[in-house]
Amino acid sequence: MAEAKIPKATAKRLPIYYRYLNILFNAGTNRVSSTELSEAVQVDSATIRRDFSYFGALGKRGYGYDVEDLLNFFKKTLNQDRLTNVALVGVGNLGHALLNYNFQQTNSVRISAAFDINEEIANTIQSGVPVYPMADMKEQLQIQQIDVAILTVPINHAQDVADELVAAGVKGIMNFTPIRLSVPATVRIQNVDLANELQTLIYFLDHYGNEAGTSDTAK
């Protein structure tokens, strides 16, 4: 990967490109143009070319992009050839849904441990994932060398649990709670507010109709 940091908007689009390249490769397609990619992933071709330009010359003028070469490049860039174990903290309704899903569309991410305060859930196996009591969280995170966690606990416990995750050495938290967590600068937070995303979608539908398109990936 290039040494220079790429824009966050570009980074968010890379997994989208990777998923479609996988589809093309499995279908036996050898090459693809930026225009074809644009139509498939709903990102304009100029943006795709700009995104790819951050990584050097990935294609050839008049030829397009070699699907297998591009797929292998993004596999390494996105660490798709390395399995990352992730912890889930909070096995409520949303937590159960995430356990059932468990990132089945990728081979690089897996929820390998879950934690919950509910004694009826702790020390059980849910969707093939062991659920530990919260008291064991720090020890298990360190034993299993997990440094990424998904947070789906009630809002009034979110900050306290985040503090525990940081103390256990977690470096990244996907936060599904509506509050904004306070963590050290060395810890990265990815906030996922489903209610906010839905309200944003409804706003665009009400004010722009279909013009909104896939604006989140095209920024």
Any idea what the CATH number is for the domain that residue 59 is in?
1.10.10.10
Percentage, residues of the chain above pLDDT 70 = 86
CB 158 within 8 A of CB 175: yes
Give residue for tokens 């929820």.
111
State how far the Cα of 195 lies from the Cα of 168, in Å rounded to an integer.
Answer: 30
Q: Give the tens place of pLDDT for each residue, 163-193.
A: 999 999 999 999 999 999 999 999 999 999 8
CA neighbor of 10 nearest in space, from 106, 74, 102: 74
Q: What is the pLDDT of residue 187?
A: 96
pLDDT for the residue numbered 88: 97
- Is 142 a member of any domain? yes
Which of 59, 77, 95 is a domain's end point? Answer: 77
SS3 183: coil
Q: Are residues 16 and 69 in the same domain?
A: yes
Say yes or no: 73 and 88 in one domain. no
* Residues of the chain above pLDDT 90, percent: 43
User: pLDDT-based confidence at 205, cuts 50/70/90?
Assistant: confident
Res. 18 pLDDT band, cuts 50 70 90: confident
Q: What's the CA gap between 204 and 97, in Å, rounded?
A: 27
CB atoms within 10 A of CB 93: 9
- For residue 146, what are the contacts with CB-CB under 8 A and spacing of at least 6? 85, 86, 87, 112, 113, 140, 170
Residue 217 has pLDDT above 60, yes or no: no
What is residue 76's predicted lDDT score, i.e. its pLDDT? 78
Within-domain flag for 200: no
- 118 with 68, same domain: the answer is no
88, 191: one domain = yes
Alpha-carbon distance 138 to 82, whole Å?
Answer: 24
Segment 14-31 mean pLDDT: 86
CA distance 168 to 49: 41
Q: Could you tell me if residue 218 is inside a domain?
A: no
Among 8-17, 184-193, 195-204, 210-219, the minimum mean pLDDT is found in 210-219
Which residues form the domain of 53? 8-77
CATH code, domain with 107: 3.40.50.720
65 and 91 inside one domain:
no
Secondary structure letter of residue 134 according to DSSP: G
Tell me the average pLDDT across 74-103: 85
The total of structural domains in the chain comes to: 2
Q: Are residues 104 and 157 in the same domain?
A: yes
Q: DSSP letter for 60, please.
A: B
- DSSP symbol at 65: E
Does any domain span residue 152?
Answer: yes
* Average model confidence (pLDDT) across the chain: 85
The whole-angstrom separation of Cα 79 and Cα 127 is 25
At residue 188, the pLDDT reads 94
pLDDT at 213 over 60: no
pLDDT in tens, 111-143: 999 999 999 999 999 998 999 999 999 999 999
Q: Where does a domain end: 46, 62, 77?
A: 77
Residues 6+ away with beta carbon under 8 Å from 180: 189, 191
